[in-house]
Structure 1
Amino acid sequence: MLSGFLRLIPILMLAGIAGLIGESFLGDELGWLIALLIVVISLFIAYVNQSRLDVFVRGAGISHLFGFGSSWSEIFFRLQRIITGLRKDIEHVERQYRRFIEAFQASPNGIVMLDDQDQIEWCNAIAEQFLSIQFKRDVLQRIHYIVRRPEFVQYITGRKYDEPVVLEKMGSNSSRILLLQAFPFSENRRLVLIQDITDLSKAEAMRRDFVANVSHEMRTPLTVMMGFLETVQTLDLPAEQKAQYLEMMMDQGKRMKNLVEDLLTLANLEANSQPAPLNSISMSYLMSLIKNDAYALSQGKHALNMNLNTSCNL
């Protein structure tokens, strides 16, 4: 109320001065009529500008920001500059936000953002698949109300994130093995990264089985060789029989040598991330290696017949 009255003072002063001047040159009635007209026009301009500003404040577009009079035009011009700058800043932030979201969505790992109450603030599509989450439905739900595994609930609520937690039988068909680790960030929030280690776990299981099988395969020829050596050492055998035993020990030694070479080959293949060079492989040589391995495994208990009917190589 007071501010509105103060804004009228310059108008009334201008009208009074105009009235006095008009009274001196044009007479009483015409001079004060001019003063009244100045007051009415000024109030009308102020009313129109104030109305446009009120319309803009209530949510109208920036196109409503234009006014009558030099002072109001300056005010509206500065407001337009400020609003235009703010809009550019907002558009820049929105573009950055969209880029971050697109980057998170492109990640092969699941990503879940939790607030300080363990509520889901955001997750990418991979996390929805891994944890059977529907973001639109489950947003702001506590994550351990959705993933109810005891080890996961204890991990999230325990606030100890030095080591990851492994969850088995996850996903829509309960066939995934997931590795989850939480990383705290601002204001007690957490970023949960989820990695599918199903293939890695299967490879580790195959490796363990392979090592066990190789150990068994090497134990057999070692046992045979030890038996032959004890026999040759303790018994006075004919030269022909000793030669036979030595030949059998040589076969077992070759078998162990082949196993060791296979292990070294696998180790080199696993350690070398570069693709193997393309070299020609002789099929006849490859078949001879397979034949020798088969005879070593058979130990003369089977009749093996291999025929190669092509001269092509790999």
Structure 2
Amino acid sequence: MRKTLSSVCLIAGAAFILGMWLGPSTGWAIFAIALLIMVLISGRQHQKIKLWVRDLNAAPPVSAGPWDDVLAPIYRKIKQDRINLQTLNYHLDGIMMAAEALPDGAVTLDKAMTIQWCNQTASQHLGLNLATDQHQSIFNILRTPEFAHYAHQKEWEQPLLLHLSQRGRERALLLQLTSYGMGQFLLVSRDVTQVEKLETTRKDFVANVSHELRTPLTVLLGFLETLRDLPTESLLVEQRMRYEQMMLEQAQHMQAIVSDLLTLSTLESSPSAENTAVPLNYVIEQALQRVQALSNGQHDFETHIDDKLWLEGAETELASAVGNLLTNAIRYTPKGGTITTSWFMNDDGSATFSVQDTGIGIAPQDIPRITERFYRADKGRSKATGGTGLGLAITRHVIARHQAELTIQSRYGSGSTFSIHFPKERVRFATI
């Protein structure tokens, strides 16, 4: 405003001076023309400002006359606000990315318990689709009386354990509600399915170990009490020897269980052993000698072994896996049966070790659980042959530590084939 008044005063002064020199009419004409030019310039500047207002992100007009002092702070404020908004958006994006990366599910709810937002983990846990489920009631998604009762509590000191079935898969979720802000709620979900399975496995394992050790201990204590209470002369030498032999067998069985448990514990808790080039043909031949002695000529053996095919791995672990598969084949194959052992390379460069028998076979419902600890498809026969129930569990861990895969093909009453498929990255060839 001051600039405009100053300009008008200068024009009036100049026109007055010229009017005194050239005459009053000329002075007034000059004054009018100058004011007209000033109005035109002001109009032009106003037009530039109107154009700039349409796009405030652009820089203001270079010269807007008296408007410069007004436009400059406005533009600086807009520019600073834009920078602040970008910073806030950056932090908001970071927060949203962090929320999406959470291993737990997160769902925000309003005071009416309708869904406002959820991360990807919550979508997987609860089967949510934010595009269609946003602004829907959470009770339309979790339609269980347990959750409804839990959500309508005034306080949520403890989480809710909820079991859901989604697409044929059972899932155990731990849900925790908490309030925040003004009448808003946060629902956090955690998948504890695997934790429940591990806890069940642990309980079963403890129960199985107790059972497996209790039986031989009971037999052993029974014989010891019998020998202690009976007079020495009341037992024949043959009876005493038979009792001692049975006690020895039970003690050896307990020793085998403890040894397998220690092996299994080592495999589960220790890192993978240092890998070396293992001549697996030699490992297989050594295992075959032991099981042939165990067979005592009661079985026929066929072998198809590539002597030049080696394997990168831990020799002691591989020997344990090979020995377990061959020993099981002997135990579950009746007298006169055939055991076929193969070690060969596949067309894709991987390698396979397989043991095929003509034994009693495995029922289809038992195959998925056959590698569980102490699980026996034929409990009576396993006890009769002296198995600990841990051999295939040990084999499974060895296979996993060598990035291999176990396949089982069996028909109940017609024999089984156990195959270990090793990736081509572990295949080596004889160096001598």
| Structure 2 length-normalised TM | 0.56
Work out the CA distance in 1 between the residues paired with 2:220 and 2:130: 65
Report the residue type matching 1:119 in the other structure. T
Matched letter for residue 231 of structure 1: T
Q: Which of 135, 146, 159 pairs up with 1:151?
A: 146
Tell me if 1:24 matches 2:20.
Answer: yes
Asked if the contact 1:130–1:171 (Cα under 8 Å) also holds between the matched residues in 2, the reply is no
Q: Is the 8 A contact 1:112 1:191 kept in 2?
A: yes
Q: Which residue matches 1:280? A: 315
2:91 aligned partner:
96
Cα separation, 2, equivalents of 1:35 and 1:269: 103
Report Cα offsets for 1:87-122 as digits up to 9, x if no partner: 233223323333333343344432323345433332
Q: Which amino acid in 1 is paired with 2:315? A: S
- Aligned twin of 1:262: 260
Q: In the aligned structure 1, how far is the partner of 2:162 from the partner of 2:193?
A: 10
SS of equivalent residue, structure 1 residue 133: coil
Residue 53 of structure 1 contacts residue 65 of structure 1 at CA under 8 Å; is this kept in 2?
yes
1:109 aligns to what? 104
Q: Does 1:298 align with 2:367?
A: no
Aligned partners of 1:252 and 1:296 also within 8 Å = no
Q: What is the Cα deviation at residue 135 of structure 1?
A: 0.8
From the two aligned structures, give the one with the greater strand fraction.
2
Residue of structure 2 in register with 1:37 after alignment = 33
8 Å contact from structure 1 (residues 23, 30) kept in 2 = yes
CA distance in 2, matches of 1:276, 1:188: 56
Q: Return the alpha-carbon distance in structure 1 between the equivalents of residues 263 and 174 of structure 2.
A: 30
Relative to structure 1, the CA distance from residue 77 to residue 8 in structure 2 (aligned partners, 3 Å threshold; closer, same or farther) is: closer
Structure 1 counterpart of 2:205: 210
Report if the CA contact (8 A) 2:107-2:115 is conserved: yes
CA distance in 2, matches of 1:7, 1:150: 76
Any conservation in 2 of the 1:110–1:124 contact (CA below 8 Å)? yes
2:219 counterpart of 1:250: no
Size of the alignment, in residue pairs? 293
Q: Once superposed, what is the RMSD of the aligned Cα atoms? A: 3.8
- Cα distance 1:155–1:55, how it changes in 2: closer, same or farther (>3 A)? farther
Aligned residue identity for 2:187: V
Distance in 1 (CA, whole Å) between partners of 2:144 and 2:198 is 25
Q: Residues 225-268 of structure 1: CA distance to partner in whole angstroms, max 9, x if unpaired?
A: 23223322333322331222122112212222333343444445
1:129·1:171 contact (CA, 8 Å) conserved in 2? Answer: no
Change (3 A) 1:37 1:176: farther
Output the TM-score relative to the length of structure 1.
0.73
C-alpha contact 1:168 1:176 (8 A) present in aligned 2: yes
Q: What are structure 2's unaligned runs of at least 5 residues?
A: 276-313, 332-380, 387-432
Deviations 1:282-304 (A, max 9, x none): 4699459957x96982168xxxx
Amino acid of the residue matched to residue 237 of structure 2? A
CA distance change for structure 1 residues 121 and 214 in 2, over 3 Å: closer, same or farther? Answer: same
Counterpart amino acid of residue 153 in structure 1: A
User: Equivalent of 2:113, from 105, 110, 118?
Assistant: 118
Q: Which runs of 5+ in 1 are unaligned?
A: 301-314
Q: 1:14 to 1:162 in 2, by over 3 A?
A: farther
Instruction: Say if 1:273 and 1:28 are closer, same or farther in 2 by CA, change over 3 A.
Output: farther
More moved, 202-211 vs 63-72? 63-72
Partner of 1:165: 160
- CA distance in 2 between partners of 1:86 and 1:260 (Å): 72
1:105–1:125 contact (8 Å) kept in structure 2: yes
Q: How does 1:124-203 map to 2 (within 5 A)?
A: 124-158=119-153, 160-182=155-177, 184-187=179-182, 189-203=184-198
- Structure 1 counterpart SS, 2:315: coil
